[in-house]
Copies of this chain bind each other. A is one copy, B any other.
């Protein structure tokens, strides 16, 4: 049953005390910090009846819960089923894909509630949480799931927890800079989630470069059934992406519009992915890797602009382009990155998150800069870009500039942070597998 080669000669992958210690200590830390800081927002607190009077609303339906909870649940499915299953394509790493994703996300959402809470929901010494915080925590963890895709199969669960701890922290810092200091719009997270998560993960995997990874090359592929399991992940990501991009938009037209734009972009993306998957293969056959991944690029690429007046045909154009870019990336860029730049990107997150994320940031900047009162209405443009308070004199073209700055900041913080975290993860204490045991469940799982 236990094949000797899995013990690894130079590597100690024994988790028995290290992993429990990290899990238990960190969870105790969460309890203490939650005890000190986290309370319910007024809409989730038993004083809601009094709050209603203050807000001058008469119906419980005005509670933010009813505006956002269905989208929250869709996002929740994306994080735990979507990311968990899309990474199941590896023939011998199904437990690790879904199980470690589960672990890092369950830890990450707690830490994200704290980190994002301190930055955004801190009132008189307490973090007040409601359904929007849950969505934001899921979003933040989404960026960790993306980074996990780059190092899938090559790390220990402790490394993943350590990476998540740092990544969530840096995510919150980057998000604060973008949303609060630059006053950038990014409701679907092209920049904060996808660019940040992808470049962070790519930097980490670069630093963890394994020169002998071809020793486990036989396990790095898929089998028929593992590809079908992965399609469960793909489809749930694809189906619920309109919820993802609209989940934290303003009530009313913005949520409505974000869902429509995302729906359109994703639909177009499927067709160009199929076209290029067939075209770039000598025999003209479709490649499941592309169908599983590049079909989702359209969702990433409207992450910033979906809530804006991108319009349905604008969304189709964005989806059209991103499907092509992503598929071409899988065919040509991934091998190049691995052989020339030593970036071993297991899931190809560069093609699914980095490139479409850049497209998304740019499209967002252009869409913002092109906004006019004619298209948005006088009130509409103020509401859409929150041109209020200190920003009431900001113009759309200036906004476009800040949006572009957001891209640059996200890349920089991701690469700097990824370098730091990669260096930490390289320490020989975390129990990562030997090269010949990568992509193999029975290093960390009873199989």
- Residues in A311-327 with C-beta less than 8 Å from chain B: 311-313, 316-317, 320
A102 near B: Cβ within 8 Å? yes
Query: Is B253 in contact with A98, judged by CB distance below 8 angstroms?
Result: no
Residue from A113, A257, A282, A312 having most chain B Cβ neighbours under 10 A: A312
Q: Are A379 and B49 in contact (CB under 8 A)?
A: yes
State the copy count for this chain: 3
* Complex Cα gap A343–B332 (Å): 45
**Which of A204-212, A258-266, A350-358 touches B?**
A258-266
Known: A60-B252, A80-B235. A49 touches B383 (CB 8 A): yes
- Chain B residues, Cβ within 8 Å of A375: 46
In the complex, what's the smallest C-beta–C-beta distance from A328 to chain B, in angstroms?
13
On chain B, the residues within 8 Å of A99 by CB distance are 231, 286, 288, 291
Q: Name A residues whose Cβ lies closer than 8 Å to a Cβ of B.
A: 14-17, 19-21, 23-24, 26-28, 30-31, 34-35, 38-40, 43-50, 52, 57, 59-67, 69-71, 73-74, 76-77, 80-81, 84-85, 88, 94-95, 98-99, 102-103, 106-107, 109-110, 113, 129-131, 134, 157, 224-225, 227-229, 231-232, 235-236, 238-240, 242-243, 251-253, 255-257, 259-260, 263-264, 266-268, 270-272, 274-276, 278-279, 281-288, 291, 295, 309, 311-313, 316-317, 320, 375-377, 379-381, 383-384, 442, 444-447
Supplied contacts A15-B284, A69-B259, A95-B286, 11 more A-B pairs, CB within 8 Å: A17-B284, A19-B275, A34-B313, A59-B62, A65-B252, A73-B239, A73-B240, A84-B235, A99-B231, A131-B256, A157-B286
